[in-house]
Structure 1
Amino acid sequence: MINNVNSGMSMPPPPPRSEQSLTAEQQTFITDTLAEFNADELSEEDALGIIEMFSEANIQPGAALEKAMSSAGFDAKSIGDIAAASDSGRPPPPPPPKQSTDEISSMVDYLAELLEETLAASESETLSDEDKQAILAQVFDKFNMEPSESIINTSA
């Protein structure tokens, strides 16, 4: 029965995954970095070091990296597996600090105040996008928050 309902609907295909190509500088960095290691005697520490160095050089995992590593005699998947096994032994990071009820109430009160002031000043029943952005910027400023942060921490 469910199939009959959904049969007329089609899901669009997922967007193609963009593959990062490596610059000549990144390829040289990969070759030089891997030259410091023995592919046949790679330790967990070595694998973690390689991954960290590539990450710091902004080299993303993908087919281009796998090909460059293979050309140097290394198996990218096995290095990733070694590093992943190492990570599984580590405890998870601590949860973010919880917001207090007072902190949330203070934000809500300030937000309500800004909304009332803005609506009264504009003599309108709706806020423009510019008004919304200005209010949000004022909340971020008052509570020393970065624009990338969420106003209310919803994690348990």
Structure 2
Amino acid sequence: MITQATQSYSHSTQASRPQTTLSEQQTSTIKETLEQFDPDNLSEADAQSIVNSFSEAGIKPSKALAEQMSELGFDAKAIGELAGAPAKPPKDKPDAQVDLKQVVDYLSDALSEQDTNQLNDEQKQALLSDLKSQFGLPEDGNLVNLHV
């Protein structure tokens, strides 16, 4: 097992892989969805509607989604929490565990889409950041914590 320091704020399945980039269609869906709401005056129902719209469109929580939402004046984490997604536990709580098979499957899928012989440092860092984001690890946290 791999121990994670925090729990993902997303309520979608942790086995699914986040997008590293958004398609034009996804970007358009995000803009069209968010245009209907005031970022400074969101209700719980509004947040749930946004989350449901993205889910129905196949848009999963990711760094790319958070960045796109931020460009449009919205805070993805705050919307996820307002919609009822579980909050991150305090740091003094016991570590949660992630199934190693999920991590291996995620990495396998992510790397199968890449020419791993041609990855530059920026691409490698982006993959690592996406992995940490997917499994709720802090950016500055350890990927693996082994206990013997």
TM-score by length of 2: 0.45
More strand by share: 2
Q: Compare the two structures and name the one with the higher helix fraction.
A: 1
